[in-house]
Amino acid sequence: MLCNDLAQLRLVVDLKLAPKMPYFANKPYPIGRCREIRDEMFVLLQAQLPHTDKLGLSLLKERIHQGTDLKKAWGSLRDEYFQNALILGPWYIDVANDTVNANKPRVEILPLATSKFTTIESFTQFIKIARPYWQVEIYKNNVCPALAPYMPLLCVGTNGTSWLAAANDDMLNVAINSNFEESKLILNALPNPPPSIVKRWKETLLQFTAEAYLTHEGNPIEYCRFYSHNTTRPNLTQRDAAVIAYSSLPKTV
């Protein structure tokens, strides 16, 4: 019942999103749009649940009224994909189940315990998924070393463009909650990016002379040590400043 009702809502979401984002990496909607679909479904549910007369959605509303939170979640699905889903107590609700394989049903609901959906606990796990899923090579971020404690990865796509990773709350927390030990581990393990990539970044960063997080030079591991010794608790002001600096960069370089 709930699965059918959610599938009906997905049709509403698809009619809204498909014209706005018809392609992702040259692949047609809904491929690659799991976050956008999940987020739009979450918003639509907030609007629909208070006055729904659909049986499945009514059951969902009742569970929420009984105190079970409906939460957005991001993580690993079988260590094969990055997945954006909804979690309702012990249930995993994938409202974008067709964003890797468009032939799959739009919605899937499974017990969380058997869904093989997990949080990502390390940059090593992140890389294990990202390399085949995004079809990228991954190097240490030595192009913006002051950002490296938060975003230690430099991803390079098959077309040669590159970007820093990963600037989402979950991966930022992997860095911060480990007091940047996870960042140091992966920076020590990864190779330097090719000189041609570094050269392109240096040219791009010339336009950001006023942004210290983007222009400060040095050893990224030393920045990890500095940030970890500089405070006894997570420095959210520093984190926010780093994210703002990152957000000013082009999407790819």
Q: What is the pLDDT of residues 30-53, one digit of tens each?
A: 888 889 999 999 999 999 888 888
Gap between the Cα atoms of 223 and 242, Å rounded: 12
Query: pLDDT tens for residues 50-100?
Result: 888 888 888 888 888 988 999 999 999 888 888 899 999 999 999 999 888
Please report the pLDDT score of residue 164 as a whole number: 94
Query: pLDDT tens for residues 163-192?
Result: 999 888 899 999 999 999 999 999 999 999
Domain boundaries, the chain: 2-118, 123-247
User: How high is the mean pLDDT of the chain?
Assistant: 90
Closest alpha carbon to 93 in 102, 85, 105: 85
In the chain, what percentage of residues exceed pLDDT 70? 99
What radius of gyration, in Å, describes the C-alpha atoms of the chain? 20
Please report the pLDDT score of residue 77 as a whole number: 87
Neighbour tally for 78: CB within 10 Å: 11
- Judged against a pLDDT cut of 90, whether residue 200 lies above it is answered with yes
- Contact indicator for 44, 96 with CB cutoff of 8 Å: no
Gap between the Cα atoms of 86 and 96, Å rounded: 10
